[in-house]
Structure 1
Amino acid sequence: MNKKSIKAGIYLVIDPSMEEVTVLSKLQISLEKGIAAVQIWDNFKNVTNVEGLVQKICTLCANHHTPVFINNRWEFLKTIDLDGIHFDEIPTKLEEIKKEINKEVLIGLTCGNNLDHVKWASENQLDYISFCSMFPSPSAIDCEIVTQETVKKAAQIFDKPLFLAGGIAPENINQLDGLNYHGVAVISGIMNAAHPDEAINEYRKKLNK
């Protein structure tokens, strides 16, 4: 499998614990609008067929040539058509994990204010990093609030795509204008919206201004 690239724009994180029909329909709408990537959050409570749902998501994303990542559960890359893995923490045995997966995949990492994590990502040639959380967020309760100074310093260390996440909404995205970033990672702002296409339009207007 050829390694896909990750575009600029909206990086959609989806919560698989939502009703499957809702997840797939909102994902389909989002893909039709055009998004940079999709990450499947590893929140599989109440999901009876985890691998089946993950494969359905991968199939939808493949139809739109959109890379799809699994959050932390790298073992799934051995049997499912995923494009990459997103780690919440630095993995202890990255090279062993790559050998186990045995195919070209994209790898990303969540970073906070500790720039050592950014340096690690750079040294290990990860494909992108994301910063969580830029603002208080119910879906990012385990993340510290990241300072803008951290993001500015990180951009000098890591020369690949850099995404911002956590509590980002069209109403506050202008507060990030002084930063150099590739896109924003969004979960509730799109997946909880009654009309995901309209939500994406609002984000995109702010990102492209």
Structure 2
Amino acid sequence: MKKALKDGVYLVIDPAMERRLLVEKLRQVPFGNLAAVQLWDNFGPDGVDDTLIAVVAALCRPHGVPLLINNHWEYTRYTGVDGVHFDEIPTDFNAVQLQMCPTAIVGITCNNDLTVVRWASAHHLDYISFCSMFPSATANSCDRVTFETVKEARSLTTLPLFLSGGITPDNIEKLNELDYSGVAVVSGILSAAQPAESLRAYHQKLNRR
């Protein structure tokens, strides 16, 4: 059975973060308050870290929070990984989809190219994530997304739309004119001195929209 993707804060984990610090920060995060968790495709020269997947899956599982992996769709066949987030449209998605776990959640990144939105809607993906709404060190490969793009996307699809890139509790109110389901956050939580407090601050602003 496919897990539900809730509205709210979607946590993105950078595997390049020093492991002991990363695990310490993750253990401070109230996972039950997250929409989803994604392992970013920033694993380094040794490739995907199965040990980290196991650690994060153990934190997600008791709360029913979906764990997604960035790009490495083959890991949807592994216990604990509930879906995949693609950075771009896969070359042969139909063939890939046949090989993935049939209950896998599938999402994709979009910038200002609405072709991606139309493709995602036509192929019945589960959500779209726009990158980057604001300048961001962790989203430096993304173009800046215009508000007009997000508004047009909402007119084209009913899929959940998540916004990412440089979003903080201090600037999130600038997004209030947009119709979106939640925000994807990397450093805004895991680089915070108090991750739980930071997550709470995001939720407070989201709830005031």
Partner of 2:111: 112
CA distance in 1: counterparts of 2:156 and 2:110, whole angstroms: 13
* 8 A Cα contact 1:16 1:47, kept in partner: no
Amino acid of the structure 1 residue aligned with 2:116:
H
1:19 partnered with 2:7: no
What value does the CA root-mean-square deviation take over the aligned residues?
1.6
Structure 1 position 173, deviation (Å): 0.7
Structure 1 position 77, deviation (Å): 1.7
* 8 A Cα contact 2:76 2:100, kept in partner: yes
Give the number of aligned pairs.
208
1:138 partnered with 2:165: no
Partner of 2:33: 34
CA distance in 2: counterparts of 1:63 and 1:189, whole angstroms: 24
Partner of 2:55: 56
Matches within 5 A, 1:76-155: 76-155=75-154
Structure 1 pair 90–46 and aligned structure 2 pair: CA distance change class (3 A): closer
- Stretches of 4+ aligned residues off by more than 3 angstroms: 46-49
Structure 1 position 22, deviation (Å): 2.4
Structure 1 position 20, deviation (Å): 2.3
Note the alpha carbon deviations across 1:101-128, whole angstroms, 9 max, x for none.
2431000000011111100000000000
Matches within 5 A, 1:159-178: 159-178=158-177
Query: Equivalent residue of 2:28, what SS?
Result: helix
Structure 1: unaligned runs, 5 residues or longer: none
1:207 partnered with 2:201: no
Structure 2: unaligned runs, 5 residues or longer: none
Structure 1 position 32, deviation (Å): 4.2
CA distance in 1: counterparts of 2:149 and 2:187, whole angstroms: 25
Single out whichever of 178-187 and 74-83 deviates more from structure 2: 74-83
* 8 A Cα contact 1:33 1:200, kept in partner: no
Identity rate, percent: 48
Structure 1 position 45, deviation (Å): 2.1
**TM-score between the two structures when normalised by the length of structure 1:** 0.94
Query: Equivalent residue of 1:44, what SS?
Result: coil
Structure 1 position 46, deviation (Å): 7.1
Query: Equivalent residue of 1:138, what SS?
Result: coil
CA distance in 2: counterparts of 1:175 and 1:63, whole angstroms: 34
CA distance in 1: counterparts of 2:165 and 2:94, whole angstroms: 29
Structure 1 pair 48–175 and aligned structure 2 pair: CA distance change class (3 A): closer
**TM-score between the two structures when normalised by the length of structure 2:** 0.94
Query: Equivalent residue of 1:29, what SS?
Result: coil
